[in-house]
Amino acid sequence: MQLAMGDFRGILGRQVSLWDLDKVEVTAGIKDRPNAARFGPCDVTETAKDGTVWHEEQVGTGPHFTLPSPYNADGEPTAKARRSITSRLQNFLCFITLDMLGIIRDCTVQHAKQTEHVDWFMGLPELMAFISITIMRAIFRVPSLRDCWSKNLGSPHIIETMSRGRFQNIMHHLRFDDRDTRSERAQTDKFAAILNIWGLFVTNCITSYIPGRHITIDKQLFPSKTRCCFLQYIASKPDKFGIKFWVACDLKTKYVCNILPYLGKDPTWPRGERVSESVVMRLMEPFLDEGRNVTTDIFFTSLSLAKRLLSRNTTILGTVNKIRQEIPLSMHSMIQTQDTTKKKPNTITLYNTTKCGVDVMDQMVREYTVRAGTRRWPVAVFYNMIDMAALNAHVLYQLCTGRQERRVDFLLELARELAQTHVQVAPAMCH
């Protein structure tokens, strides 16, 4: 396993080995003290507070263990996904399926009948048209919802699809679970109001794509100020408030492979296990045992996690906080440095290359996000689901068809295909 060692003391151009209490050897490249690389070999050891022993070795000394066989294939759609791909809409329906839409329709109709009128009805085509408008709003970016139907700023695609009153009426009743049993389920699960739909979505993401060798794990803060018990505040983010998700992305395509919501303390996690370690193992579970590498940041990386991943034929690359005083096994047989003034070790160079998967994915969905103001957190989660489903659908569409299409063009055509059935049926129903 690998480590970028920005927080550890050491010598540039040297390789550092350490043995923990189980005598497991761990190696990695480190930096600082740039002139020390010129010195000859020396027998210097340092014992950390937890008993870990650090020992200097010459650059080029190989590891005394067998490296896992790396996963060499690029990411690709699964056979199941390839069979389903006939259009942009079919790509999207791989993630938000007709069965899921049927559940949303039934729950929405149930809420409307109980609160508004017993004859209230909405079919699947109308629900798909509703989603179509949320995507179009993300593309055209008008100042307010009202402007989407205005004479000067409105989009003909939106105006022809649905009236503003009907769109707002559907939004008012939009629900994702059985209202009658929600309070009981919410006592044991904070995510109960959208848990069923969310679980199906995540399963579809896992079963529709086989990721390549490198997977990046990081947090995503979906901007929202809606009231919920697990709303997060992160000062370093552009939008300070939001719902936090742990995300695993394929490095090359930025496909969302797996995702977990952060709901605060989880009683189902094993006692004594770090939250960071549990998150990585859960996200990586469908992709273990095949020689992949996962890149993590300083929050996740630890020696115990490295050992668990290595036992499942998976390596890890990440920065380590110096207060943890531990370092994972390296897949680099030799620590090499760049022939530049900075003399960066190859571990750090690779980390900088592979760490950005989730951040780039988040930037991509923000560029054309369907997010809008809402007071209900399940709707905010649904917005994030639509964003990720559209992103994944775009990845699958390009891989399955071999066509390179701008994401904005893909989204516009997807919105049209979502609305097509309803637009064709609505005039006939009027007559």
pLDDT tens readout for residues 325-357: 565 346 455 566 767 776 777 777 777 777 777
The pLDDT, as a whole number, for residue 86 is 78
pLDDT of residue 151: 85
104-117: pLDDT as tens digits: 999 999 999 999 88
Nearest CA to 375 out of 145, 171, 128 is that of 171
Note the pLDDT of residue 333.
52
Question: How many whole angstroms separate alpha carbon 124 and alpha carbon 102?
Answer: 7
- 2.60.40, 3.30.300, 1.20.950, 3.30.420: which CATH number matches 191-328+338-368? 3.30.420
State if pTM tops 0.75.
Answer: yes
Residue labelled with tokens 């008008």: 142
Give the pLDDT score at 279: 94
Q: Write down the domain spans for the chain.
A: 79-183+370-426, 191-328+338-368
Q: Which residues of the chain have pLDDT under 50?
A: 1-41, 328-329, 331, 427-431
* pLDDT value of position 178: 93
* Residue matched to tokens 């920005």: 6
pLDDT given for residue 212 in this prediction: 94
Q: What is the pLDDT of residue 410?
A: 94
**pLDDT recorded at residue 46:** 64
What is the pLDDT at residue 398? 92
The reported pLDDT for the residue numbered 34 is 37
216-230 as b/e: b if 16+ CB within 10 A? bbbbbbbbbebebee
Closest among 80, 50, 69, 111 to 322, alpha carbons compared? 50
pLDDT of residue 193: 94
